[in-house]
Amino acid sequence: MKIVPLNEKVVVKRLEAESTTAGGIVLPEAAKEKPREGEVLSVGDGKRLENGERLAFQIKKGDRVIFSSYAGTEINVGGDDLLIMTEDDILAIVG
């Protein structure tokens, strides 16, 4: 199944959380914090301006990004946990 975001929305796949600490302790799933970093899978058409034009995205498909803790709406597509969020929820591109 393919997800096509609308307007200024983007689809992001979270990166996997570390399951072992630097000291070698294995963390159970319940103790892990959800990662705030992911990969952009797709972007919408851009924010619609009052004159009908679209504002271009600063991010693109394939970018690795950092987003705010409570950003987006979680969905499950084909067994993958994804987030749909606005570009405003994205804080930075990891280079």
| pLDDT of amino acid 36 | 85
* Number of separate helices (H) and strands (E) present in the chain: 0, 8
| C-alpha atoms less than 13 angstroms from C-alpha of 56 in its C-beta half-sphere | 2
Q: What is the pLDDT of residues 4-51, one digit of tens each?
A: 999 999 999 998 766 666 677 766 555 556 678 999 999 999 988 999
Return the residue matching tokens 């096509």.
4
In order of their start, the domains of the chain are 9-16+31-94 (2.30.33.40)
